[in-house]
Amino acid sequence: MIPLIFDNAALANYCQRIAASTLLAVDTEFIRQSTLLPKLGLIQLFDGEHLALVDPLTITDWQPLIDVFANENMVKMLHSCHEDIEAFATIGITDITPLFDSQLAAHLLGWGSSVGFASLVERITNKVVDKSETRTDWLARPLADKQLTYAANDVLFLYPLYQTLKQELNSEQSALLLQEGQQLMQRKHQKLPFEFKYLEIKNSWLLTSRELAVLRELVRWRAEYAQQKDLALGLVFKDAQLFELAKRRPSTLESLMNIPDMPHRELRRHGKMVIELIERAKALPADACPQRFHHQEHFIGYKQEVAAVSAAVKKAATEQGISAEFLSVKRQLNEYINWCWRVSDQQRSTLPVPEYLKGWRRQVLLPYLPVPEHIAV
């Protein structure tokens, strides 16, 4: 039987035992079916000698683990860590450094952009990872021995991958990987304010200024409501549904209910609020509505700007010897375009700087990026 760490004293003792370790394999188990934030069900830790399965439902003092994760002399190794980072943030762990993501390491080595954990283990060790407990309810108690064994194996298999990946990576790739780990952590601290969340809606650039005003109100309300209720955004309204509401701008509950593919249960619950938000946006003066684009005298067009930036990224990737998919994903490209053209100069000063212009990406991309004349970088 694999024991669980249930109390603060046991967690503190474990953290003290591993304080001098140089590598810690880390994984989490969580539930995220209907909530905005992941619900931690288990934390797995292994430093090559000491295994710990930590029960986050009973621990109240996370400071010892916070200190371990912030220890710059101990590499924290995770696989595909995006959601793990979010899960750790729910218990106050917001600094994980140095962070070594084995999936990103495989990407840098040219083994694929999203290599799964089981595939990576099999490639390096020829061992097969049991994934039979993937659908376990990790918030249920007690956890069965087979569930604890399954969870423990994630870090027991993860730990020995480090040396192989380190040997395969050259010095430049190793440095880049750790820098990207820092960027992943910083990303979680730099959220787009609710009033600008509409910029993230697919194809929102196609809407008129008035339609954007409606979309802005709806998206902001959804974000606030989802945060208040801890609900997944799509369970309130999906992006495509908000986009359709912004285009149609219904003025009555009847017309609202007649829009195809709208969730009737949510319309019954929120219909009155949706109509109020739409009417509020309709009543705004024109200069209070979002513009589609700013500095249009220098704007060559949305698709043309996207094509120009995409070409710049590909050229930088080729000449710098970095995978284009590692250097940039679509979210980052859209973030740059929005920051350059879809907000005013005053608004831009209040928003997070795009990832293209921060950290290692800035050094790689800035000589290639088309930077608009109205932006000082």
Residues forming the active site: 27, 29, 84, 150, 154
Under 8 Å between Cβ of 217 and 284: no
**Quick one: which of 300, 288, 281 has its CA closest to 341?**
300
Distance, in Å, from the CA atom of 98 to the CA atom of 14, rounded to the nearest integer, reads 20
Under 8 Å between Cβ of 52 and 14: yes
Residue 166: both structure tokens together: 């380190």
Distance, in Å, from the CA atom of 5 to the CA atom of 52, rounded to the nearest integer, reads 7
What is the crossing angle of helices 161-168 and 117-125, to 10°? 80
Residues in the chain: 377
Distance, in Å, from the CA atom of 153 to the CA atom of 2, rounded to the nearest integer, reads 11
According to DSSP, residue 291 is labeled P
What Cα–Cα distance (Å) separates residue 1 from each residue in 49, 140, 144? 17, 18, 9
